[in-house]
Structure 1
Amino acid sequence: MAALLVAGFVGLFSETALNIALGQLSQIFQVDPTTIQWLATGYFLTLGILIPVTGILMQKFTTRQMFMTSVLLTIIGTALAATASTFGMLLTGRIIQAAGLAINLPLTQNVIFAIYPPHKRGGAMGVMGLVMLAGPALGPTIAGLILDTLSWNWIFWVQVPFLLFSLIFGLKYLPNVNEIRKVSIDVFSVILSTIGFGGIVYGFSVSGVNGWTSSTVLGSIIIGLVAVILFAARQMKMETPMMNLRAFKYPMFVLGVFMSFITFFNMLSMLVILPMYMQMALLIAAFTTGLILLPGSLLNCILAPTIGRLFDKYGPKAVITPGTILVAVSYAIFTQFGTETSLWMIVLTFIVMMLGIGAVLASTQTNTLNSLPKQYYPDGIAITQTIQQVAGAVGIAVMVSLLSAKQTSYLAIAANELPQSAVAGSSFVFTIGLVLAVINLVLSLFMKKPAN
């Protein structure tokens, strides 16, 4: 577990760490903001394309083969990015890194469900939840500190020792825990999955730059949706599908997928919108912004295993419903933030928010997968992980574009009032987050512990 979780942390850290350096990298490589954004878009796109395929790969290859491929891809991608002398080289490194993470995330969940009995999975998934929250949350803070003292290359170099530890530890301790089956990979399903999930993620990712009415954005999303529908129809007709969508016949699984989508949509967009609010409305430096968010992230890391054990002891509703309440309360407070909001208030509200997300995230995933029979685990994991990555990409794109649109309409009425326009935009977005959080709260009331 240590080998898998350390590699996963590095991949998720890398997902957000580079965001803070995009402006600087745009100048270094002399590319425009639209092009530099591909360092983030390409990462999400690779995850969206590859994660759906991992469900079948985990049935075809051993745990150790999948693990070795995952870590070696991440090491190669990280080294390539760290030594990049051109933008193309850096982007290639990012895509190879993301390919490693795309294998690691489903593999880690699959190992947890293979080696832990149901009554201990909550604790194990709690630790994985720690990794899934700490990686993206700590990324901007640590990257900001590195950029203040060293060159951008060190954002990648600091990852290498952890990856080497993961590789050595995994070689020594990681056994083969999955059941190998003779499955053939349907090429047409892979093509439909790639076009479908890739098209949706790409369309939403470039919407902020191209605008929602752009033919590229609308075309990508429509083609993506059509391909996903065709992919789903094909899977239902196949005897051994690439992704077994029959998992959706279990009501608790469907409920969990909906809740996971909302949680990731809100969480990843909030990790972008909140720093934007602080930098534009309160005029705080990027590194200080990261420090303000640090206590919430760290406290969540400390409490994640405990939350997992509470899930094992008291069941899903006792942990998830209070978590959704904390998230909703936090969003309600966020909507009231203005240009004079105290920093301690932001720190405190973010701590409450992260505690709520920590309670919801891992527990929902555990309960969602517990509701499936064992043979559906690889498919259930591939489905939930794909949904989460799509939700993150869509959430960031939708919320940032809504923030920008609200800002623009405010500035049209009151020119030169940039901080107030940022408040108006972020308050509007936080209100949408609040509505989604309340929906999640209502859904959590129907959550039950699976019988199996």
Structure 2
Amino acid sequence: MSTAVQEPPATRPGRTPIVVRLLVLATFVVILNETLMINAIPRLMDSLQVTEQAAQWVSTAFMLTMAAVIPVTGWFLQRVTTRQAYATAMGVFLAGTALSAVAPSFGVLLLGRIVQAAGTAVMMPLLMTTLMTVVPQQDRGRVMGNVTLAISVAPALGPTVSGVILQFGPWRLLFVAVLPIAGLVTLFGLRKVYNVGEPQVSSIDWFSVAMAALGFGGLVYGLSLFGEREGGVGLGIGAVLAGAAAIAVFVLRQRRLQRTGVPLMDLRTLGHRTYGLSLALMAIGFLAMLGSMILLPLYLQNLRGLSPLQTGLLLMPGGLAMGLLGPTAGRVFDRFGSRPLVLPGTIGMMLALGGLSQVSMAMPYWQVLGLHALLMVSLAATFTPVFTLGMGALPAHLYSHGSSMLGTLQQVAAAFGTALVVTVMSARAGELAAEGVAAVPAQLSGMKLAFLVVAALALVPVAVATILPRRSTAAES
């Protein structure tokens, strides 16, 4: 098969190139699976005879694999063609999905989820790198709005989609339903996706690969343990410290390799001020989104007595609003820059989290829905321009490294957000229970404090938004 760069089909001004459309669709399908199993935990416990802590690993292992594999994608995407990267990612994802669907035991299911995640890890960096290469700067905001649908709305809708599917059959149906959709997307994509950019043959430093896997994987693993009741915190702290040490070694190694031109993850991306600021803002945004995704189902199901399906339907409008407003936010950014979007978006995020810190047993469901929708709309107004600003600040040869760093940070922020809210909630609830407070009021107080802590962290994006430029160019390089 020739690896020559193909002449891209003509695209009218203001239209999204077909290669980007296909990659957005494929990325949505694979990232949806990151949170698809959240509602299936009780079914897994009953079907495969595993504990709740063990069953949680179907989500934890997916996130951990993503964090470990994504750092390698910067090197991988520079080495292969767009079509080869697409075929590899979707082929691996399909293999993992099929294995999960027929898994005879929990161990095989876990292996299938790890294989799924390995394919998923390639898709977001591939999408971001291709978009930045083929889309003119004046159209990037609009197109990046579609990317928001794939990488932000997909995990937000995962629990809702799984809640609906689980009404019709066992947990295996989650994979059986995804398999033909992913297969059709793969086949259609292989017919239409064309190669973008020239592959670059380069060596890979396997020591860096090992340090990245141990560092980022260890960090995510350690953070995920904070939610376990017995012995999790001590082991979690140890894993986090070990992961942080491995990341420090990884950073030193990359700085040394940058002098020879072949780092696994080029840290010179962080030297671009706008990219660095965007990275910080995105991290808090993902932390807030995943933290609320953990707390709200616990509140609605454990305290208010809603079913998983009812919970998913209540939270669905916020996820849909986020997806529908992403392209609109992109068009506003293309015309007016970041200022009319990012500052109001970060303020809205802070206000929504502050409002959720007042949850009670009597709070009307429409108010919960409204606050969640405000949070999702605010994140849509923030993510689209910040993605565009950050990636646009990088020179073309750093696009793949910038997108892989963003993807890695997304997984770490998600794990940190989950660990933070669960730890704060559990600590507060345990403290009140020791004072003789009943279980439900104690847990409710813990949830309120967790939302309040995340709302306080949301002050950071507001401060960052005030110093972000309206637009960025690669001239920063």
TM-score, normalised on structure 2?
A: 0.92
The reply to whether residue 112 of structure 1 matches residue 131 of structure 2 is yes
Choose 204-213 or 417-426, whichever is displaced more.
204-213
Aligned counterpart, 1:179: 198
Tell me, yes or no, if the aligned pair for 2:34 and 2:155 is still in contact at 8 Å. Answer: yes
Give 2:296's aligned amino acid. Answer: L
Q: How does 1:5-404 map to 2 (within 5 A)?
A: 5-209=24-228, 214-238=233-257, 239=260, 240-404=262-426
Evaluate the alpha carbon distance shift between residue 394 and residue 211 of structure 1 in structure 2; reply closer, same or farther with a 3 A threshold: farther
The 2-side partners of 1:307 and 1:183 are apart by: 38
**Structure 1 residue 374: Cα displacement:** 1.2
The Cα of 1:299 is off from its aligned counterpart by 1.7
- In the alignment, the residues of structure 1 paired with residue 231 and residue 424 of structure 2 have an alpha-carbon distance, to the nearest angstrom, of 11
**Per-residue Cα deviation, 1:15-43 (whole angstroms, up to 9, x for no partner):** 11111111220121111122112111100
CA distance in 1, matches of 2:444, 2:334: 41
For structure 1, which segment, 396-405 or 53-62, has the greater mean C-alpha deviation from structure 2 after superposition?
A: 396-405
Whether contact under 8 Å (1:281, 1:418) holds in the other structure is: no
CA displacement 1:295-349 (0-9 Å, x = unmatched): 1111222211111111111112221111111111111211111110000111111
Unaligned runs of 5+ in 1: none
How far apart, CA to CA, are the structure 1 residues paired with 2:151 and 2:400? 19
Alpha-carbon distance, 1:283 to partner = 2.1
> Residue 85 of structure 2: SS of its match in structure 1?
helix
Distance 1:162 1:145 in 2: 17
Q: Is 1:4–1:166's contact at 8 Å kept on the other side of the alignment?
A: no
Q: Indicate yes or no: 2:469 matched with 1:450.
A: no
Query: What amino acid maps onto 1:318 in structure 2?
Result: P
Partner residue of 1:428? Answer: 449
Q: Which residue of 2 aligns with 1:3?
A: 22
Q: Secondary structure at the match of 2:37?
A: helix
Q: CA deviation at 1:7?
A: 2.1
Q: Could you tell me how far apart the structure 1 residues matched to 2:385 and 2:368 are? A: 26
- Select which of 414, 419, 429 maps to 2:440: 419
- Listed one character per residue, the Cα deviations across residues 176-221 of structure 1 (whole Å, up to 9, x for unaligned) are 1033112111111111111111111111112222667755322211
Distance 1:349 1:154 in 2: 32
2:124–2:151: 8 Å Cα contact kept in structure 1?
Answer: no
Q: Is the 8 A contact 1:2 1:166 kept in 2?
A: no
Equivalent residue pairs, number: 451
* Cα displacement (A) at 1:2: 3.2
Check the 8 A contact 2:70/2:407 in 1, yes or no. yes
Structure 1 Cα separation of the partners of residues 339 and 38 of structure 2: 35
1:178 and 1:43 map into 2 onto residues whose CA distance is 30
Amino acid at match of 2:333: F
The letter of the residue matching 1:365 is F
Superposed CA offset, 1:250-294 (max 9, x none): 111111111111111111111111111112232222211111101
**Any conservation in 1 of the 2:28–2:154 contact (CA below 8 Å)?**
yes
Question: How far apart in 2 are the matches of 1:327 and 1:355?
Answer: 8
Give the superposed CA RMSD: 1.4
Counterpart contact for 1:74–1:101, Cα < 8 Å: yes
CA contact (8 A) 2:290 2:418 kept: yes
Q: Select between 437-446 and 146-155 the one with higher mean Cα deviation.
A: 146-155
Supply the AA of the counterpart residue of 1:132.
I
CA distance in 2 between counterparts of 1:41 and 1:347 reads: 27
